[in-house]
Amino acid sequence: MPGARSLLLAGVVVTLAASIGAAWLHEMGPRLAAQTVNTRAEKPQPPALTADEERFATALWAVHREATRSAVAMSFAGISYQTENRDAREFARTIEPLVKFFRDAEIQVRAMSPPPSLSRTHGQYVEAMALYANTAAEMLKFTEDGDPQRLQLAHELDVKASEDMLRVGEVLWPGQYKPH
């Protein structure tokens, strides 16, 4: 039975290759793990925040916590409208309070006094709140005129706002869970 011999030979070769691979991984595993740990250890840690920076980060966190929740709610409202609901009035009712929240948040964050070292970070966050307010406003305008370009613009603004908010988070709250 030539077919059985070929099959047996192929099985032996595969078994031998698997054994060699397992032995290689066994030998190289600790070395690869050590290299990975060394690579992670070489990444510089950001400096600790000063007392003034920590106070600013804490004050901004009160806004950030709600802004994150509202940004996710706005994204889900848009997704729900596009995929399930298609009720413009219900969509508007969901978006209206978010327009107000983000406008108020922009005013509140703009009024904060960051330490000089965080002025750029502060500006990014103000910009993120303005972009989110514009995102929600564009969504609301869509519910009035039905122009799908408004939803496309809203999406682009939302992405930019999310990126700005994430950059600020990396400075003030490194390692924070990122919901987007």
Q: Where are the domains of the chain?
A: 1-43, 51-172
Domain boundaries 51-172, corresponding CATH code: 1.20.120.230
DSSP per residue over the chain, as a string?
-HHHHHHHHHHHHHHHHHHHHHHHHHHHHHHHHHHHHHHHHHSPPPPPPPHHHHHHHHHHHHHHHHHHHHHHHHHHHHHHIIIII--HHHHHHHHHHHHHHHHHHHHHHHT----GGGHHHHHHHHHHHHHHHHHHHHHHHHHHH--HHHHHHHHHHHHHHHHHHHHHHHHHSTT-----
pTM greater than 0.75: no
Q: What is the pLDDT of residues 97-156, one digit of tens each?
A: 999 999 999 999 999 999 999 999 999 999 999 999 999 999 999 999 999 999 999 999
Q: What is the pLDDT of residues 54-89, one digit of tens each?
A: 999 999 999 999 999 999 999 999 999 989 878 999
